[in-house]
Structure 1
Amino acid sequence: MQLPPEDRTLSPHTGYTRAHWEAAADALLAAVEPYATEDRALYHLPGDRQSWSGRLSDGLEGYARTLLLAALRQDETALERYAEGLAAGVSGIWPRIEDRSQPLVEAASIAFALRITKPLLWDRLDDAVRQRAAAWLGDALTAEAWPCNWELFPVTVAGFLSSLGYEPDASRKAIDRGLERIEQWYVGEGWYTDGDGRKFDYYNGWAMHLYPVLHAWLAEDDRLLDLYGGRLSRHLDDYARLFGADGAPMHQGRSLTYRFATTAPLWLGALTGRTPLSPGETRRLASGALKYFLDRGAVDSRDLLTLGWHGPDPAVLQGYSGPASPYWASKGFLGLLLPADHEVWTAVEEPGPAERADALTSITAPNWLLQSTSSDGLVRLHNHGSEDVRYDPYYTRLAYSTVTEPSASYDNSLFVDGDPSRTEIEPLGVGAGWAASRHTAAGGVRVSSVVLARGAVEVRAFLVSGAEPGTPVRVTGWAARDGVRTELLPAVALDDELSGVTGEEDTLFVALARLTADADAVPLGETATVRASGERELTVVWSGGPGTRVRLEGSGVEIGAGD
């Protein structure tokens, strides 16, 4: 991909400016154009993969998600092509929007795109085309959504149709219904779970916050904007800490092939004035993520986004991932709606949280502990509260980072009787430098877990309850990755292979772990001393620092000062 020369004066951290974002958008749009059907209603991108929705739906997805990019770019030439495709699509080519169908998802992208380009696209369509388009979109008003972020797709469609005066009562009902639905999933402090349960991931930013805030902003509804914008601002306090110094987003959750869609909530905060981040920090984080992916093969030699993370990678895909799925990355170009003279584009880049100082950040809603080290710019997420067994291993591991990815050999896991299962995760709390949870392991065994962190060092403790005496237990650490050190040492009841067996009563196992790119790090064994006191209690004495006492019970954890 051809980009302008870097500007290290305005953007000392990334070199990227608005011109780089514009050039990236232009290149992505140019690359997909040869794959449009003759009538431009469908975009059949190359590859042998097809989503479970089928080829026709995948072609619609290609149209909708790249239309979104053209709309954010405000590219009149491209929008003329998409207007032609719209006219053909709503004349019988596109599949109908039905209950829980993929076209409902794509309708939201189309409706939002039409709303923000109304003078450039919608207003120039023939009246008959507008009527057919409104009727096609109108099926979204009553279509049943999956009980998750999908509830917001009818809201987005209804917002556009309402602005046209189309079916005002049905549109209002769709908006109210969707916004009411997501209230039951708001758990406070800026965090939603993506439907029932405890599914915490990037859908918070690129769906659960994005659509309500955009709806309120476009509707000029100050009451809703204060509500949803306030939640977004609080979320960004935590969200900004999920990016490494190299620009990498945290490698956790599903739909990771959307890549720099992770930047959408950063831009959204600036666009609506609901952000705790400075303009320079906003652009640094967003440009860092875009640069991270473009530098690592996210686009192929044809400038097409591939199905994967860096390059092609089937491990990060789901059954709904089709050839055009990665183009939800278009959401990451939301910043182009801000004028070129906006301070988010003109301010000098400022360092992000991972670059400023070592930090241990407790996030109560998902029961996460974020551990970042400025010496190497790495961020680690200790997961003691997020779970979605449908998408294991991207939810159920004990830890994730900005430089590693879940391994097929089950990194960051506890094996009980040879089984790494971790289900029914129950948060036990999170605080200054610690996080704890309880889960069910193989055979119904219950495990209480706690991680203590200081700098890049972790102490991981597990109390195994209800296992037969002599049951084998094994602890694993970080997955191997070029350029970083992954270390794991036994501390209590584990041998040099990080294995042990349960006793007659509840049994405590403890290990020291570290993930670091700091070549000068002291030996892991010199960073902390761990002493067990009975079956449920241990004391950690940090090198050159205070001690921490931990008591694990089946239903809770006590953390206090230790000798």
Structure 2
Amino acid sequence: MQPENITLNNPLKSRADLQKLVNELLNAVSPFFKKDASRIDLANFTAHYGQQIANMETFSRLLWGVTPLLAGGQEPEQFSFYIQAIKNGTHPAHADYWGEVAPYDQRIVEMAAYGLLLAVAHQPLLAHFNEQEKDHLWQWLKQSETQDIPDNNWHFFPILVQVGFHHAGMVKNAGALEKHFTVMEQYYLGDGWYSDGPGRPRDYYISMGFHFYGLIYAKLMQDVDPQRCEKMRERATLFAADFIHFFADDGAAIPFGRSLTYRFAQAAFWSAVAFAGLDVYEPGVVKGIVLRHLRWWLKQPMLDRDGILSVGYSYPNLIMAEDYNGPGSPYWGLKTMLVLSLGEQDAFWQAQELPLPGRETHHSIPHASQILVHQANHLWMLTSGQLELNNFVNTEAKYCKFAYSTRFGFNIERGRFGLNHAAPDSMLLLCEKDDYWRGRRDCQDVTTADGMIFSRWQPWHDVTINTWLLPLGDWQIRVHFLKTARELDCAEGGFSLPNRPQLQLQQASAKSQLSTASDTSVIHCLSPQPRRGELVLTPPNSNLLFAERAAVPLLRGELNAGTHLLISAVWAGETGAFDELTCPKAIVSEDAVRLVIGHHEKQVILENLQ
């Protein structure tokens, strides 16, 4: 059932179209507003920080849509509610006071929304506040200056509060700015890339966190901190040249990593590019990325029947949620609506929407250990595997698979016992013949060079696997050199398809191929050691893009104690574009594997990395 209060056929071509969408998303939450409250309760589940703070988070994240509307000259329909809720929530004597924050407190995250609100829309907001109410708001936000916070992108939240103080004429703390910027400088890797804290992943938090907030700072603090603002603009320019490869021609972005329930926050960086006037691509190119992305999301069943953004990715799916995902968490996606703060005459809105510029077929990002592959109507990414130190739910599935796809998504684990529960797509899984499966998690060594990614990983202390991943044409090649002291079963999967009635399976001694009228997914064994083709069906709601059971083409085999070489070729895309004859050939010598497809050739050297 589609919600009646959201116009799903909104063309999203103009500023008015986007304003309409934001107002509809905000108005869908309005029935859940409570008189004299400063929180919004949307559901009967919660996050690790408890229901009260989760409800405060819901209210605060709506401000990422409210603020651009106000800055762009339009009041949301329920503006009086937002004003009163902020007054109540920041009044220490009010029954619904948001409270004193503690170290590592989720409320510090939400303070960033109030910082931006004060920075770009303080006039329409504070016109409704008396001096005491302004002081309450300042005092409550000021708590962010001294509290301990996680060592990651959170350092930008107190910074945005200080930016808000500066523009609203409130007393600011310059020392707080310096402290947090100094810490984050340690995360910078070069070429526009950060890690999300020491040893942490390079995922969407680099775009929707570091650079999104950095470009807001660069726009709003240019007069008082020009040198730092220029550095942020330079880094964002470098990053943009890589990040544009994360978006497909149809607007979809590659699902990868944690916090995917924020959905269209994947394009928030590009809205910040427009907001800051960053001269990296033509305004029409940036406009196209943002609007195509939002149009793609409007086609997904992401809303419940009340028009509320659900927790999930393409569809409501609590199974994939992190423990910090509350009922209102998805409204962080409204960060992408920042472009509404730009007037109708801004270059972004005046520009004609343009397609993505020409890009190389294979794009390597060494700092993120990723290779993006632009196949016709299919964008996919090879990755080294990144360890999320907090071990959020389904960390291996979200970070450690060999490949991620805009067209086929990826599967999350439902358990370790039984291959169907273990999310075998785009993974090499192993077990000690007991049906408890392990795959790549922590990597002891990673190298991205010469158009391929190398990783060394150990599923057990006495099992070492060297893995090379490389694109060859539209094919994905995997070379695994294993040394094992154990007898093992192995299973290696390609991309998964929905298990619909028209699904066709072709199995052979060294191949598994799945096809529908529109899609094909195949995995070939290219190594001398035989593996048999099989099919595994995962439970419903395993794949992030479709709720049906997922069908995964597999290669299965047995490994005795000793040394083994496994080579596979994976292809997935439109059924009409698949050509079996293009499958690469592997020529194995004592110390190398030569891979050949047409005029393309790559060589993997084994001897130096054993």
Distance 1:533 1:125 in 2: 76
User: 2:28, 2:307 within 8 Å by CA — same for their partners in 1?
Assistant: yes
Displacement of 1:35: 1.2
Aligned with 1:474 (options 482, 487, 491):
491
Would the aligned equivalents of 1:199 and 1:387 in 2 still touch at CA under 8 Å? yes
Alignment check: 8 A CA contact 2:454 2:469 kept:
yes
- Name 1:384's counterpart in structure 2: 384
Task: State how 1:406-485 maps to structure 2 within 5 Å.
Answer: 406-407=410-411, 408=413, 409-417=423-431, 419-426=437-444, 428-465=446-483, 467-468=484-485, 470-481=487-498, 483-485=518-520
Q: Which residue of 1 aligns with 2:50?
A: 54
Aligned with 1:24: secondary structure?
A: helix
Contact 2:466 2:481 in 1 (8 A): yes
Which stretch shifts more, 210-219 or 198-207? Answer: 210-219
Q: How far, CA to CA, are the matches of 1:369 and 1:80 in structure 2?
A: 48
Spell out the pairing of 1:29-178 with structure 2 (5 A cutoff). Answer: 29-45=26-42, 47-74=43-70, 75-77=74-76, 78-92=78-92, 93-164=97-168, 166-168=170-172, 171-178=173-180
Q: Offset at 1:433?
A: 3.5
C-alpha contact (below 8 Å) 2:216/2:275 kept by paired residues = no
What are the Cα deviations for residues 43-83 of structure 1, in whole angstroms up to 9, with x where unaligned?
212x2211111121012111111122111111325443311
Q: Secondary structure at the match of 2:310?
A: coil
The reply to whether residue 530 of structure 1 matches residue 529 of structure 2 is no
2:424–2:491 contact (8 Å) kept in structure 1 = no
Aligned: 1:328 with 2:332: yes
Report if aligned partners of 2:90, 2:98 keep a CA contact under 8 Å in 1. yes
SS at 2:307 equivalent: coil
Amino acid at match of 1:27: E
Q: Residue 157 of structure 1: SS of its match in structure 2? A: helix
Instruction: Report the equivalent of 1:561.
Output: none
**Matched AA of 1:453:** P
Kept after mapping to 2: 8 A contact 1:98/1:143: yes
Equivalent residue in structure 2 for 1:512, among 569, 581, 586: 569
CA distance in 1 between partners of 2:206 and 2:257 (Å): 11
Tell me the alpha carbon deviations over residues 420-448 of structure 1, each in whole angstroms, 9 at most, x when there is no partner. 33232255432454222222223442211
Deviates more, 1:444-453 or 1:70-79: 70-79
For structure 2, the 5+ residue unaligned runs are: 1-5, 414-422, 499-515, 534-554
Indicate conservation of the 8 Å contact 1:156/1:215, yes or no: yes
Distance in 2 (CA, whole Å) between partners of 1:196 and 1:555 is 27
Among 479, 490, 495, the alignment partner of 2:525 is: 490
2-structure distance, mates of 1:4, 1:385: 38
Contact 1:185/1:195 (<8 A) preserved: yes
* Contact kept in structure 2, 1:236 and 1:276, CA below 8 Å: yes
Show CA shifts across 1:290-331 (max 9, x none): 111111122233221111112201233111111110100110
Secondary structure class of the residue paired with 2:135: helix
Per-residue deviation, 1:167: 4.7
Query: Could you tell me which residue of structure 1 aligns to residue 217 of structure 2?
Result: 215
Per the alignment, in what secondary structure is the counterpart of residue 121 of structure 1? helix
Q: Deviations over 1:190-209 (max 9, x none)?
A: 11111121411110111111
The equivalent of 1:2 in structure 2 is 7
Name the CA shift for 1:259/1:5 in 2 (closer, same or farther; >3 Å). Answer: closer
Counterpart of 1:137 in 2: which secondary structure? Answer: helix
Displacement after TM superposition at 1:552 (Å): 2.6
Is the 1:489–1:496 contact (alpha carbons within 8 Å) kept by the matching residues of 2? no
For 1:127-158, what per-residue CA distance to the aligned partner results, in whole angstroms no more than 9, with x for missing partners? 00001111111111101111111121111112
**In 2, are the aligned partners of 1:79 and 1:120 still within 8 Å (CA)?**
no
2 CA distance for matches of 1:112 and 1:276?
Answer: 24
1:253 aligns with 2:308: no
- Taking a change above 3 Å as real, the CA distance of residues 166 and 98 of structure 1, as seen in their structure-2 partners, is farther
CA RMSD of aligned residues (A): 2.1
- In structure 2, the CA distance between the partners of 1:152 and 1:250, relative to structure 1 (3 Å rule), is same
The Cα shift of 1:480 comes to 2.1
Deviations 1:430-486 (A, max 9, x none): 245422222222344221111221232111101113x12643333222122474311
Asked if the contact 1:457/1:512 (under 8 Å) is kept, the reply is yes
1:559 corresponding residue in structure 2? none
Q: In 2, Cα distance between the equivalents of 1:184 and 1:427?
A: 21
Cα separation, 2, equivalents of 1:4 and 1:513: 36
Mapped to 1, the partners of 2:216 and 2:10 lie a distance apart of 33
* Offset of residue 369 of structure 1: 0.7
**Post-superposition shift, 1:507?**
2.1
Is the partner of 2:425 in helix, strand or coil? Answer: coil
> 2:251 and 2:462 mapped to 1: Cα distance?
40
Q: Deviations over 1:168-197 (max 9, x none)?
A: 4xx212211111111111111111111121
SS of residue paired to 1:280: helix
Would you say how many aligned residue pairs link Structure 1 and Structure 2?
537
**Aligned residue in 1 for 2:543:** none
1:23 lines up with 2:20 in the alignment: yes
Superposition pairs for residues 163-312 of structure 1, below 5 Å?
163-164=167-168, 166-168=170-172, 171-220=173-222, 221-312=225-316
Moved more, 292-301 or 545-554: 545-554
Verify the 8 A CA contact 1:236 1:275 in the aligned structure 2: no
Cα distance change on mapping 1:16 and 1:494 into 2, 3 Å: farther
| Contact 1:61-1:324 within 8 A present in 2 as well | yes
Q: 1:123 and 1:215, CA in 2 relative to 1: closer, same or farther beyond 3 A?
A: farther
* CA distance 1:300–1:469, shift in 2 (3 Å): closer
TM-score by length of 1: 0.90
Q: Any idea what SS the aligned residue of 1:119 has?
A: helix
Distance 1:226 1:427, change over 3 A: farther
Q: Are residues 348 and 504 of structure 1, via their aligned partners in 2, closer, same or farther at CA, if it must alter by over 3 Å?
A: same
Q: Is the 8 A contact 2:114 2:164 kept in 1?
A: no
Normalised TM-score (structure 2) = 0.84
Structure 1 residues 410 and 344, CA gap change in structure 2 (3 angstroms): same
- AA aligned opposite 1:537: A
Q: Which residue of 2 aligns with 1:11?
A: none
Q: 1:4 to 1:501 in 2, by over 3 A?
A: closer
CA distance in structure 2 between the aligned counterparts of 1:85 and 1:267, rounded to whole angstroms: 27
Q: Distance in 1 between matches of 2:575 and 2:189?
A: 37
Alpha-carbon distance change, 244 to 280 in structure 1, aligned in 2, over 3 angstroms: same
Match of 2:319 among 311, 315, 319: 315
Paired residues of 1:57 and 1:95 also in contact (CA < 8 A): no
Amino acid at match of 2:563: D
Q: Residues 546 and 241 from structure 1, CA distance in 2 versus in 1: closer, same or farther, beyond 3 angstroms?
A: closer
Deviates most, 470-479 or 102-111: 470-479
